[in-house]
Amino acid sequence: MTENIMAVLILINLALTASSRLGGCINLVAVQGIAIGLLPLFAQEGLTLRGFLLAAFVVILKGIVFPRLLINTVRDAAVRREVEPFVGYGFSLMIGTALTVIAFWLGTKLPLSLSPSGMSLVLPGAIGTIFTGLFMIVSRRKAVTQVLGYLVMENGIAAFGLAVVSEIPLLIELGILLDTFVAIFVMAIMIYHISREFEHIDVDQLSALKG
C-alpha cells in the first residue's frame, strides 16, 4: 500500500507541472496531503492510537483546511488560471519528468537505510516531491501557485522524514503542522490584500514597486 501511495504522489507531481487551472492544482495538492496523512498508517508496523490521531489531524489540515483557505483566496482574487508562467506547461512536464528520473537516481545513491521493507518508492517519491515543489515556486507567476509549491515541498519533506526516521516525537510533528498552518494562513491573507490593492497576484510585477 505504501508503494501505491508514493506512486500516486509521483503522478500528482507530474500533473501539477502540466496544469494551469488553479482550482485543479489545489485539489491535486489536497489529494497529495491526504496521501501523506495516510502514509504513516501503512508505513509503520501496527496501528497505534497516536498514529491514527496524527493521520486524522494531517488529513483534516492538508486535505480540507488548507485547500479551503486557498480556494477562498482564489475566488476572492477572481483568478482561475496561471496564464503565462515563467516556464511553459509542455516544457514544465518535461522538466518534471527529468526531476523524477533524477529523484530515482538519487534514491539509489543516498546512503540511507529504510526501516520497513518494501519501501523502494518512498525515497525517490519524497525527493521528487521536494523537487516539484521547488520547481513550482521558481517557475510560476501567481502567488497562489507558489504557495502550492511550498505545500508540495513540505509534503515531500514529510515523506522524506518518514523514510529516514522510524518515529518522530508527536509534539515535533504537531509543531511542524501548526507552523505550516500559520504560514498558509498568513500567505492567504497576503494574497488577498495584494489582489485587492493591485488587481492581480503576479509576483513578478511586485518587483517593479518602489517605496
**If we measure between CA atoms, which residue out of 173, 134, 210, 178 comes closest to residue 53?**
173
157, 130 Cβ separation under 8 angstroms: yes
Which of the residues in the chain have pLDDT under 50?
none
User: DSSP per residue over 138-175, as a string?
Assistant: HH--BHHHHHHHHHHHHHHHHHHHHHH-S---HHHHHH
**Category of 118 on φ-ψ map: left (φ > 0), alpha (ψ -120 to 50) or beta:** left
What are the φ/ψ torsions at residue 202 (nearest 5 degrees)? -80, 115
Structure confidence at residue 208 (pLDDT): 62
Structure confidence at residue 134 (pLDDT): 92
Structure confidence at residue 94 (pLDDT): 93
What pTM did the predictor assign? 0.81
Query: How far is the CA of 190 from the CAs of 81, 113, 116, 183, 199, in angstroms?
Result: 19, 41, 42, 11, 13
Structure confidence at residue 11 (pLDDT): 93
**Category of 47 on φ-ψ map: left (φ > 0), alpha (ψ -120 to 50) or beta:** beta
